[in-house]
A = this chain, B = another copy of it.
Amino acid sequence: MTIKRIGVGKRMSACVVYGGVARTAGFVAEAAAGKSFKEQTADILAQIDATLKEAGTDKTKILKANIWLTSMSGFAQMNEAWDAWVPQGHTPARATVESPKLAAVGLDVEIMVEAAV
């Protein structure tokens, strides 16, 4: 089996496909400063959609999701964006936990997923 890497950076790749599974990086919102938890989540999910498309799949084949929030006070807002996005009947195994700080100031949400290809 071959390994297919998408969005290959010096430090990480946006997505790695192997063995029929696409594994994404932990995505954060672009231009996050001043954006709410809901807005950041929607931005991230749009990036994930685009990345899964590049990998030859889509959100109906999502298997697993890990979500980190800088504060659980944003849990309901994150879920508003999530619920509007996640396809009914195709929901993944998911875990959401608090991580006080993400990689840069202003980032409040990070999401990493796996999807079948």
Chain A interface residues (CB < 8 Å from chain B): 1, 3, 5, 8-16, 18-21, 23-26, 61, 63-66, 68, 71-72, 75, 79, 82-83, 86, 88-103, 110, 112, 114, 116
* Shortest Cβ gap from A66 to chain B (Å): 7
Copies of this chain, whole number? 3
6 chain-A/chain-B pairs, Cβ below 8 angstroms: A12-B91, A18-B116, A23-B114, A25-B93, A71-B101, A99-B99
Given contacts A98-B100, A103-B75, A116 and B5 within 8 Å (CB-CB): no
When the two chains form their complex, are residues B89 and A72 in contact, meaning their CB atoms are under 8 A apart?
Answer: no
**Residues in B whose Cβ lies below 8 Å from that of A72:** 101-103
Given contacts A11-B82, A18-B63, A3 and B116 within 8 Å (CB-CB): yes
Closest 5 CB pairs of A and B: A26-B95, A12-B94, A97-B99, A72-B101, A98-B101
When the two chains form their complex, are residues A110 and B83 in contact, meaning their CB atoms are under 8 A apart?
Answer: no
Given contacts A11-B83, A103-B75, A19 and B116 within 8 Å (CB-CB): yes
**Residues in B whose Cβ lies below 8 Å from that of A102:** 72, 97-98
When the two chains form their complex, are residues A93 and B1 in contact, meaning their CB atoms are under 8 A apart?
Answer: no
